[in-house]
Structure 1
Amino acid sequence: MRLATLRVRGETRAARLDGDEYVLLANPDVGALLATGPQWRQDAAQQAGERLPVIDAVYAPVVPHPNKIICLGLNYATHIAEMGRDTPQYPTLFAKYDASLIGAYDSITMPTVSDKVDWEAELAFVVGRPARHVPKAEALGYVAGYTVANDVTIRDYQRRTREFLSGKTFEATTPVGPVLVTADEFGDAEPDLEIRCEVDGEVMQRSRTSDLLFGIADIVSYISDIITLLPGDLVLTGTPGGVGDGRDPKVYLKHGQTLRTVIEGLGETSNVCLPEKTV
Structure 2
Amino acid sequence: MKLVSFIQDGKTGLAVELDGGALVGLDESDAAFPGNLHSLLSEGNGALQSAQSALLSGREIDRAAIEFAPPIAQPGKIICIGLNYKDHADESGMEAPSHPTVFARFASGLVGNGQPMVLPTDSSHFDYEGEFVAVIGKRGRRISPERALDHVAGYSLFNDGSIRDVQFQTSQWTVGKNYDGTGAFGPYFVTADALPKGCEGLRLVTRLNGQLLQDASTSDMIFDVATLVSQLSNAFTLEPGDIIVTGTPSGVGGARKPPLYMKEGDVCEIEMEGLGVLRNLVVAEKAG
TM-score, structure 2 as length reference = 0.93
Contact 2:195/2:274 (<8 A) preserved:
no
User: Which residue pairs with 1:39 in the alignment?
Assistant: 46
Structure 1 residue 174: deviation in Å?
Answer: 1.0
Question: Is structure 2 residue 14 aligned with structure 1 residue 6?
Answer: no
**In structure 1, the residue corresponding to 2:184 is in which secondary structure?**
strand
Cα distance in 2, alignment partners of residues 265 and 57 from structure 1? 22
**In structure 2, the residue corresponding to 1:95 is in which secondary structure?**
strand
Quick check: 180-189 or 48-57, which moved more?
48-57
Contact 1:22/1:54 (<8 A) preserved:
no
User: Which residue pairs with 2:108 in the alignment?
Assistant: 99
Cα distance in 1, alignment partners of residues 285 and 48 from structure 2? 39
Quick check: 33-42 or 263-272, which moved more?
33-42
Cα distance in 1, alignment partners of residues 194 and 200 from structure 2? 9
Contact 2:8/2:65 (<8 A) preserved:
no
User: Which residue pairs with 2:203 in the alignment?
Assistant: 194
Contact 2:198/2:225 (<8 A) preserved:
no
User: Which residue pairs with 1:236 in the alignment?
Assistant: 245
Structure 1 residue 39: deviation in Å?
Answer: 1.7
Corresponding pairs, count: 279
**In structure 2, the residue corresponding to 1:35 is in which secondary structure?**
helix
User: Which residue pairs with 1:212 in the alignment?
Assistant: 221
**In structure 2, the residue corresponding to 1:204 is in which secondary structure?**
strand
Contact 1:5/1:30 (<8 A) preserved:
yes
**In structure 1, the residue corresponding to 2:268 is in which secondary structure?**
strand
Question: Is structure 2 residue 69 aligned with structure 1 residue 69?
Answer: no
Provide, for residues 123-173 of structure 1, a one-character-per-residue CA deviation record: whole Å limited to 9, x for no partner.
111111102110000100111111111101000111111111111111011
Provide, for residues 35-67 of structure 1, a one-character-per-residue CA deviation record: whole Å limited to 9, x for no partner.
122322322222133331345442101111100
Cα distance in 2, alignment partners of residues 257 and 189 from structure 1? 31
Cα distance in 2, alignment partners of residues 158 and 7 from structure 1? 32
> Partner letter of residue 234 of structure 1?
I
Structure 1 residue 112: deviation in Å?
Answer: 0.4
Question: Is structure 2 residue 137 aligned with structure 1 residue 128?
Answer: yes
> Partner letter of residue 46 of structure 1?
S
Question: Is structure 2 residue 179 aligned with structure 1 residue 170?
Answer: yes
Gaps of 5+ in 2: 28-32
Cα distance in 2, alignment partners of residues 15 and 167 from structure 1? 33
User: Which residue pairs with 2:36 in the alignment?
Assistant: 29
**In structure 1, the residue corresponding to 2:287 is in which secondary structure?**
coil
User: Which residue pairs with 1:18 in the alignment?
Assistant: 18
Percentage identity across aligned positions? 35
Cα distance in 1, alignment partners of residues 126 and 223 from structure 2? 26
**In structure 2, the residue corresponding to 1:6 is in which secondary structure?**
strand
TM-score, structure 1 as length reference = 0.96
Contact 1:110/1:274 (<8 A) preserved:
yes
**In structure 2, the residue corresponding to 1:43 is in which secondary structure?**
helix
CA distance 1:258–1:244, change in 2 (3 Å):
same
**In structure 2, the residue corresponding to 1:221 is in which secondary structure?**
helix
Cα distance in 2, alignment partners of residues 207 and 32 from structure 1? 33
Please provide the CA RMSD for this pair: 1.4
